[in-house]
Structure 1
Amino acid sequence: MATGSNEPKSRYLRYLELITGSLEDKRRYWQYKARIKQLPENYRTAVEALERYLMHFGPADGAGAMTMYEDLAELFEQSAADGTPIRDLFGEDPVEFVETFMANYPLGQYRTRERNRFTSAVARAAGEDTGRQDRTD
């Protein structure tokens, strides 16, 4: 089913990807899962918890999310190799860690922008001068 880089995709593969999403993203996801499976148990437990959080609150698109997950795998592989304790990775506030991690990716920046827009709108509604003109479109 794989096609060469210069070979056009068959009608079947184009239709399949239309229905199921990018086959390349799916391949990347399963490679990521295989990498995570190789981590020591405590690192794997931490990554799986982080992954669960990201599934609910992180980027939803395939390519952007996969880049983030691959970077996550690399971070934990390197940390495991260096013997970095889990708490040293996450710090005292794991949510702050994951929110900062997500902000490094385009859809994470979208969330930050929307949080700022929301906060500013509430301040305006409360009659507070925010000094900003946020667009609501």
Structure 2
Amino acid sequence: MSIRDIIEGKKQWRAHTARVKALPPDYRIVYKEMQTYLFKVGPLDLPDGPLLPGIVDFFEEGAAAGKGVLELIGTDVAAFCDDLIKDSRTRADALRESIGSRPGPAEK
């Protein structure tokens, strides 16, 4: 990764966070909770992938339509996030694969 890639990535992240800050307060709170949850269990390509910007797009549209954030996603934020990443390779999948590929004590 070159220095230009790093700088471009930072610019994109700053633009993304500016969009999040422009959301109504209830949307911002839910987005932050979703972001925290997804960084713990989410897809491996989360920082560079389309998921987080897609959530902001979805929230911007909902806010523009005058809907509350819980009207859009329901009351179970974790279940909504799990549904978003159900077909993605997650950190848990990678961990399971790495543990499964290690020889056990009986195999050594």
Which residue pairs with 1:122 in the alignment?
none
- Contact kept in structure 1, 2:59 and 2:69, CA below 8 Å: no
Q: What is the number of equivalent residue pairs in this alignment?
A: 96
The runs of 5 or more residues in structure 1 that have no matched partner are 1-12, 119-135
Cα RMSD (Å) = 2.8
Which residue pairs with 1:51 in the alignment?
35
SS in 2 for 1:63: coil
Which residue pairs with 1:127 in the alignment?
none
1:84 corresponds to which of 63, 67, 70: 67
Q: 1:104-136, CA deviations, whole angstroms, 9 ceiling, x for partnerless residues?
A: 6xxxx213xx4xxx7xxxxxxxxxxxxxxxxx6
Quick one: which amino acid aligns to residue 51 of structure 2? Answer: M
Q: Indicate the structure whose relative CO is greater, using CA pairs within 8 Å and at least 6 residues apart.
A: 2
Query: Sequence identity, in percent?
Result: 26
Quick one: which amino acid aligns to residue 86 of structure 2? Answer: A
Matched, 1:30 2:21: no
What TM-score, normalized by structure 1, do the two folds share? 0.57
Which residue pairs with 2:104 in the alignment?
none
What TM-score, normalized by structure 2, do the two folds share? 0.70
Segments ≥4 residues shifted beyond 3 Å = none
The runs of 5 or more residues in structure 2 that have no matched partner are 102-108
Tell me, in whole angstroms, the C-alpha distance in 2 between the residues paired with 1:71 and 1:103.
Answer: 16
SS in 2 for 1:36: helix
Determine which structure has more spread, i.e. the larger CA radius of gyration: 1
Tell me, in whole angstroms, the C-alpha distance in 1 between the residues paired with 2:56 and 2:48.
Answer: 15
SS in 1 for 2:51: helix
Quick one: which amino acid aligns to residue 63 of structure 1? Answer: D
